[in-house]
């Protein structure tokens, strides 16, 4: 067994334990009314997500908890456990980020939970210079999006493409579309683009998009 395979098994085992524990917390908090009720994705949210994921996301299984959810959102950050997304503060780009975690759960089950936990623990306890959400070091080194070490870096990359990507029209008189989600527009009248800090990541973003939709 390779070191990578060994770590993946540790991530999966740890993730399964964390998942079970947090689902228990969810059940108790729901029973006593500490957290808001779960809801399904709205039609507007489905329309926002579909250009990114197409048919690769289990939209019908996703549940969203809006607002503070007791112990599960004590950090103030969004959290995804399996198909449940906790959003203490609603933002469309955050929903996109968390739906990448749902997609990761569909493809890697509990492994993504352990990976996220260990990477964030590493940044807090062992190396404060380490940024688990920063996709740039890996992408700049030539690592494909699908092979980035951290699941949070994967999710943040897609979030940034959603928030800061653009669609450039071939017609010179038509201004580029910089609205959130414009990168994922499919139109023969132009092409998408994702530039960060004056560096063009369009190729990497399109490769990630192709992987997600596959």
Looking at the domain assignment, is residue 131 inside a domain?
A: no
Based on the structure, what is the number of domains in the chain?
A: 2
Looking at the domain assignment, is residue 52 inside a domain?
A: yes
Residue 123: the pLDDT is: 58
pLDDT digits (tens, 9 = 90+) for 73-105: 998 999 999 999 999 999 999 999 999 999 999
Q: Last residue of some domain: 94, 126, 158? A: 126
Looking at the domain assignment, is residue 105 inside a domain?
A: yes
User: What is the rounded CA–CA span in Å between residue 163 and residue 147?
Assistant: 22
- As a whole number, mean pLDDT of residues 115-130 equals 67
pLDDT digits (tens, 9 = 90+) for 30-50: 999 999 999 999 999 999 999
What's the pTM value of the predicted model, to 2 decimals? Answer: 0.92
Domain co-membership, 14 together with 93: yes
Domain co-membership, 122 together with 193: no
Range of the domain at 158: 136-213
- As a whole number, mean pLDDT of residues 106-132 equals 76
Residue 95: the pLDDT is: 98
Residue 124 DSSP symbol = I
Q: Last residue of some domain: 74, 91, 126? A: 126
User: What is the rounded CA–CA span in Å between residue 66 and residue 89?
Assistant: 7
């Amino acid at each position: 067994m390779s070191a990578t395979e060994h770590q993946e098994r540790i991530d999966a085992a740890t993730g399964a334990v964390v998942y079970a524990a947090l689902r228990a917390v969810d059940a108790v908090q729901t029973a006593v009314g500490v957290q808001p009720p779960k809801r399904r994705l709205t039609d507007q949210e489905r329309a926002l997500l579909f250009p990114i994921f197409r048919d690769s996301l289990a939209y019908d299984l996703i549940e969203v908890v809006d607002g503070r959810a007791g112990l599960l959102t004590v950090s103030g950050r969004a959290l995804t456990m399996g198909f449940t997304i906790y959003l203490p503060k609603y933002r469309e780009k955050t929903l996109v980020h968390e739906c990448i975690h749902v997609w990761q759960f569909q493809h890697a089950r509990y492994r993504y939970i352990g990976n996220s936990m260990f990477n964030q623990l590493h940044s807090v306890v062992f190396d404060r210079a380490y940024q688990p959400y920063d996709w740039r070091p890996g992408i700049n080194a030539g690592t494909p999006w699908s092979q980035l070490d951290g699941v949070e870096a994967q999710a943040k990359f897609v979030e940034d493409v959603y928030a800061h990507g653009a669609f450039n029209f071939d017609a010179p008189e038509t201004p580029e579309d910089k609205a959130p989600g414009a990168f994922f527009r499919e139109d023969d009248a132009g092409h998408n683009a994702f530039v960060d800090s004056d560096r063009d990541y369009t190729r990497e973003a399109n490769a990630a998009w192709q992987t997600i939709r596959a």
